[in-house]
Amino acid sequence: MTSIKWGGSPGIAGGADATGLPAGVSLYVDGSRARVGPTQSGLDDARQHLSSTTQKRLVGSLTASLSGALARLEERLDAVEWPVGGLGLGATPLGARTASVGGQAFGALAASVNEPGASSLEERLASRQRRESAASGLAAGTYGLTLSLGEQTDSLSVDIGAGWTAGQVHDAVAEAVNASSLAVEAEVRRNASGMFIGREALVLSADASQAGQAASLAATTGASSALTRWLDLSAGAAERLAGVSGDADGIAAIGVTKAAVLSTARATRYASQGFDPEAETTLAPGAYTLDYLVGPASGAAGESGEVSIQVASGDTWGEVLARMARVLGSASPSMAARLVPATRVYELPTGERGLAEASGLEVTETSGKSGWRLRLSGADAAAQGLLDALGLGDPAEYGGEAAMVVDGRTRTSPSGVFSADSGRLTLTASGVFGEAAPVRVQEGAQALADALAAVLDSYNEVQDLLSRNAGEVRAGVVDTWTSLAASRSTALDSIGVARTGQSLWLDEERFLVALLSRTDEVQDTLTGGGGFLTALESEARGARAGGEDAAAAAWIAPAARERAEEDASASALRVCEARTEAQVERSNQLLDLYDAAPTLDFSAFSGSGGILSRKG
């Protein structure tokens, strides 16, 4: 129990006792009692009388508070985005719009405003809407098409039967596109409501990570152009189907987007065991044929093939692994292979086991298509034995798509990159959080002002902790921290960073005027070689350079820690009557009652049967 009682004692002029301290001021902490005044020196003296447990608790609490405040300050410094370059965050034209992530999404979600003309909208092209049952009017035959995404192309073949309906044609083209190794996906979208109810369109999409990569579907021959004319694919139709408001290639709108990440993206990954690259392999010499398939998890057609791995007599594990990385890595653009550092387990003559550095092989699916997975297998028992011996018989990690809820709509992505604000904003998920968090788009100058105001709040938090606990911190720490602003007060005030007492606050109107009219001066004052934010960042990170609690070693006074340690040692030598927590609580309550009680004549009571005990 910790209680503080403030109350004047009648009968002493001015409410002060013989020591000159306010009467009736009692401090109870864990059963210890001291009479103190409201001055800092009085509080420091009172600390000398606190129990060792309380001494430790006070020092530990201050250490934790300082560490937390410094961590928040660093986080807010990192969130500052300088509009014209600086703080290591690149260059952005002054006045350009910036995106920031708030709430629990900080560190798990990144947001960026797309450059005009580089829309990240997933829906790239859409066909003319037709009734599913309507006759297509296309002649039966094989139509050759070329699918493109940026500089990449792939040849497609679509077989159309006699008398096919529009729905059958849409499905056939979608199947051909989805079988391609290019990161383009096709979907037939049917309208279940509205003026176009009963109609459908073919939509070609690409992951938001492919922003700026144009998609197209062209005829390879003159005869095939009948199909492309019939489809009549256009970006405008895709935007209309996606419900795009405004120009998808324009600049992001000022406002807030709500986003929550339900899962992160994972590519299928095979990882071998670790092997000594200099040791001779135990594999039998010969050729091993491996099959690979990169395609939908359902087992539908994708990209498949086989490779041959040669193992010669006397080959080392390093040579075999390097050969496999070259062969598998060049077999398909949808598959990557590389050597990676690993560890191996070895056994000593004593029977004990140890770990040593080694080399391993990693094979990953890189198709960029939703639902596609990588499967490796041996063409025969010997080849499968090779994979099993290496630890490549099963994936180390099975693939999965990222899932995100953006403004109430759940979507998936093979890369973890999503579009928002009609393709003008890009969101990248790296962590999971269930509750929707705000993604705010602001003018660059306004975003800087908000970030700077948050930094000043954190500065004030640290300043307040140090000032209120001056007796517990090293000499000079308070002055050093205060001087960060005091020594720059004139320059800071000229750009709108005002000072009241020891606290700083942002006069936003003056700051924005200075930022737009004297940009270089503002930048130098804040982030130059001797700038305020530069010095603040150096001081904060220097205090925490040794870890979370490094502020204790850097700022807490040795005497404060030694006093707690000495009291603890002395307490260990005393033989104290064991008391339960309930007994301590009761004792402190009785003391509180005693101080508040009116003057009574206790002569009428004797022994231990009195109604009020003075013991505690």
Tens of pLDDT, residues 330-373? 999 899 999 999 988 877 778 788 788 899 999 999 998 988 99
Is residue 590 domain-resident?
Answer: no
Is residue 498 domain-resident?
Answer: yes
Domain holding 135: CATH number? 2.60.40
614 shares a domain with 524: no
551 shares a domain with 470: yes
| 331: β partners | none
pLDDT at 461: 93
Tens of pLDDT, residues 128-183? 999 999 999 999 999 999 999 999 999 999 999 999 999 999 999 999 999 998 99
90 or 486, higher pLDDT: 486
Average pLDDT over residues 408-412: 92
Q: Taking the CA atoms of 8, 12, 13 and 17 in sequence, report the sign of the dihedral they define.
A: negative
Tokens standing for 179?
A: 């079988």
Whole-prediction pTM value?
0.63
Q: For tokens 């600390």, what's the residue? A: 47
365 shares a domain with 280: yes
296 shares a domain with 183: no
| Residue 38 predicted with pLDDT over 50 | no
Identify the three-state secondary structure at position 184. strand
Tens of pLDDT, residues 237-293? 888 888 776 676 777 888 899 999 999 999 999 999 999 999 999 999 999 999 999
Rg, C-alpha atoms of the chain: 36
Number of domains forming the structure of the chain: 4
Average pLDDT over residues 456-482: 89
The domain boundary residue, chosen from 529, 555, 581: 555
Q: Which amino acid is at 62?
A: L
507 or 584, higher pLDDT: 507
Q: Which domain holds residue 19?
A: 1-46+595-616
pLDDT at 87: 32
497 shares a domain with 385: no
d(CA 145, CA 408): 37
Q: Measuring CA to CA, how many Å separate 392 from each of 373, 387, 395? A: 15, 5, 7
Average pLDDT over residues 402-411: 93
pLDDT at 573: 43
pLDDT at 251: 79
361 shares a domain with 334: yes
Q: For tokens 């700051």, what's the residue? A: 511
The domain boundary residue, chosen from 375, 391, 407: 391
Is residue 95 domain-resident?
Answer: no
- Name the pairing type of β-strands 417-420 and 409-413: unpaired
Average pLDDT over residues 562-577: 49
Is residue 110 domain-resident?
Answer: no
Is residue 551 domain-resident?
Answer: yes
Is residue 579 domain-resident?
Answer: no
Tokens standing for 295?
A: 């395609």
* pLDDT band, residue 517 (cuts 50/70/90): confident
462 shares a domain with 514: yes
* pLDDT band, residue 296 (cuts 50/70/90): confident
| Residue 586 predicted with pLDDT over 60 | no
11 shares a domain with 78: no
Return the beta strands (E) in 85-137 as ranges. Answer: 97-101, 109-113, 123-126, 130-131
279 shares a domain with 233: no
Closest CA to 73 of 536, 563, 571: 536
pLDDT at 446: 83
| 98: β partners | 442
Percent share of the chain, pLDDT over 70: 75
* pLDDT band, residue 548 (cuts 50/70/90): low
Contact by Cβ (8 Å): 227, 219: yes
Contact by Cβ (8 Å): 26, 596: no
Is residue 569 domain-resident?
Answer: no
Is residue 436 domain-resident?
Answer: no
278 shares a domain with 205: no
The domain boundary residue, chosen from 391, 409, 425: 391
| Residue 17 predicted with pLDDT over 80 | no
Closest CA to 52 of 567, 559, 556, 557: 567
| 186: β partners | 204
d(CA 413, CA 406): 12
376 shares a domain with 282: yes
pLDDT at 139: 96
615 or 562, higher pLDDT: 562
* Residue 561 CA to its chain's centroid (Å): 36
